[in-house]
Amino acid sequence: MPSRLKASALSRFVWLILVLWTLDLLIKWVITQQFNYAERLNILPFFDLMLVHNHGAAFSLLASQPGWQRWFFSITALVISIWLAMWLRRTPKTQTLLGFSLSLVLAGALGNLVDRVMNGYVVDYLLVYYPPYYFPAFNLADSVIFIGVVGLFIDFWKTEKAAKRDS
């Protein structure tokens, strides 16, 4: 393995990416095998498991389109995944928060990419609500992308704050 890759955040977090990616696909497979479409299983007064298919992007953006969005979002996710992997490879192993956050976003992007290419839609199964308010159904991949983006904002804020302090 080249020394640059050994010293990168990608080498440090590749295990996390693979575990989350695999776990996401495994959970989606189990839910698909155990639930009928739109079937709900109440877990808590504000939380259900529910099998739904999202043909669009976040919050079902463009879901009602005739099918072109499948390939548009697939190509977009592939390009973003390649870009994230390159960014991780260039990120020093010592930048823990940045590497961790990028890894979460990459794992989630890959999970939803596989779904979209294989099925034409993303399998969602987590439903959070407080009647009459319902948050759109989501999945593990969406969750780790969200956490990763929050981590990126925190990392950028801390880096900017340190840069201002040092100047």
Q: Please write the tens of the pLDDT for every residue from 4-49.
A: 556 899 999 999 999 999 999 999 999 999 999 999 999 999 999 9
For residue 24, indicate whether it is catalytic. no
- CA–CA–CA angle 74, 15, 50 (5° rounding): 55
SS3 state of residue 131: coil
Confirm whether pTM is higher than 0.85.
Answer: yes
Of residues 60 and 86, the one with the higher pLDDT is 86
**87: closest CA among 77, 99, 73?**
99
Distance CA(32)–CA(125), nearest Å, equals 9
Distance CA(79)–CA(75), nearest Å, equals 6
Distance CA(93)–CA(166), nearest Å, equals 22
Instruction: Quote the number of domains for the chain.
Output: 1
For residue 155, indicate whether it is catalytic. no
Domain ranges, residue 73: 3-166
Tokens representing residue 111 in the block: 């999970």
**125: closest CA among 48, 25, 22, 61?**
48
Q: Of 24, 115, 142, 155, which residue is the catalytic one?
A: 142
Give, in order, the Cα–Cα distances in Å from 144 to each of 1, 46, 129, 148, 158.
28, 20, 20, 6, 21
| Displacement of CA 92 from its chain's centroid (Å) | 22
- pLDDT surpasses 80 at 102: yes
Q: Of 48, 124, 155, 166, which residue is the catalytic one?
A: 124
- pLDDT surpasses 70 at 152: yes
- pLDDT surpasses 80 at 1: no
Specify the pLDDT at position 57.
64
